[in-house]
Amino acid sequence: MLPTDDLGEPVPLRGAPTRVVSLVPSLTDAIETTAPGLIAGATDYCTHPGSLDVPRVGGSKYPRVDSVLDLEPDLVVANAEENRPEDVERIRADGIPVWVTAAAPTVPAGLGSVRRLLTQGLGLAEPDWLITAEELWREVKPLHATAIVPVWRRPWIVLGRDTFAGDVLRRLGIGNVYATHPDRYPRPPLDELTAHLRTGAADLVVLPDEPYEFTATDGPDAFPGARYALVDGRALTWCGPSLVPAHDELAAALP
């Protein structure tokens, strides 16, 4: 029986893959850290591990599919939220198996998805970093703050319901004022965001440095007088080896 990816699609592998092209930065990190040399190609945004030296195939949303095909991978890994279905289908139409991971709503779900990819898709042993990450992130700390968490500016986009990053924060004791919003990534006007702070519905603004690069001079200025925390976007949003140091790093950065 063929293995299936997170979306239930069969992945017609011909044995354990030896040439993988990754269209997802966090999965590139997870695979290459677990099995160095397995990644044969990656996106321009695949920055980790730092030793990665492979051909680049463009961005996640708009990869150069011809470049992917030219690398002759025996598996391409993608994500349902980060990659376009039409690109996945074109790669599959050329006879190359694609393993698509789901957009995980929680840390345990994300780590479970990565475990399936590594062990069932790639035939690898369960890595130590994954077990450590599960242990570190198992606990959900008592709520001590409620945040607005922008991920983009112009227009403002914030974390809403069922997001991996939202669950990371909740496990550290930080709630999300938009956690029950119908959308996963709402686009509220700035006056609505500042109203939450003014009324006390939120008492913190969490500003990651990716996908939008918020800084001390670009982000806090929109919320004068508000308590804010600048955090590492990779620590907040990547489901992979970065979750191990992220637990202490985020705890130190958050009030």
Q: 239 vs 16, 30, 140, 142, 242, CA distance in Å? A: 23, 8, 17, 23, 7
Q: What is the pLDDT of residue 93?
A: 97
Question: What is the Cα gyration radius of the chain?
Answer: 19
Q: By CB neighbour count within 10 A (0-12 exposed, 13-18 middle, 19+ buried), where does 5 fall?
A: buried
Q: By CB neighbour count within 10 A (0-12 exposed, 13-18 middle, 19+ buried), where does 149 fall?
A: buried
| Residue 247, helix vs strand vs coil | helix
User: H-helix or E-strand containing 76?
Assistant: strand 75-79
Secondary structure of 157-204 in the HEC alphabet? EECCCCCHHHHHHHHCCEEECCCCCCCCCCCCCHHHHHHHHHHCCCCE
Q: What is the pLDDT along the chain (255 residues), one digit of tens a residue?
A: 889 999 999 999 999 999 999 999 999 999 999 999 999 999 999 999 999 999 999 999 999 999 999 999 999 999 999 999 999 999 999 999 999 999 999 999 999 999 999 999 999 999 999 999 999 999 999 999 999 999 999 999 999 999 999 999 999 999 999 999 999 999 999 999 999 999 999 999 999 999 999 999 999 999 999 999 999 999 999 999 999 999 999 999 998
Side chain identity, residue 132:
T
Task: Tell me whether strands 98-101 and 75-79 are parallel, antiparallel or unpaired.
Answer: parallel
Instruction: Judge contact between 197 and 223, C-beta under 8 A.
Output: yes
Q: Spell out the domains of the chain, with CATH numbers in brackets.
A: 20-135 (3.40.50.1980), 145-253 (3.40.50.1980)
Task: Tell me whether strands 150-152 and 157-158 are parallel, antiparallel or unpaired.
Answer: antiparallel
Closest CA to 22 of 2, 1, 3, 47: 47
What's the distance, CA 232 to chain centroid?
Answer: 12
Instruction: Judge contact between 69 and 93, C-beta under 8 A.
Output: no
What is the full DSSP assignment across 4-60?
B-TTS-B---SSS-SSEEES-HHHHHHHHHHSTT-EEEE-TT---STT----B-B-S
Q: What is the pLDDT of residue 1?
A: 81
CA torsion, ordered 65, 116, 19, 91, to nearest 10 deg = -20
Task: Tell me whether strands 157-158 and 20-22 are parallel, antiparallel or unpaired.
Answer: unpaired
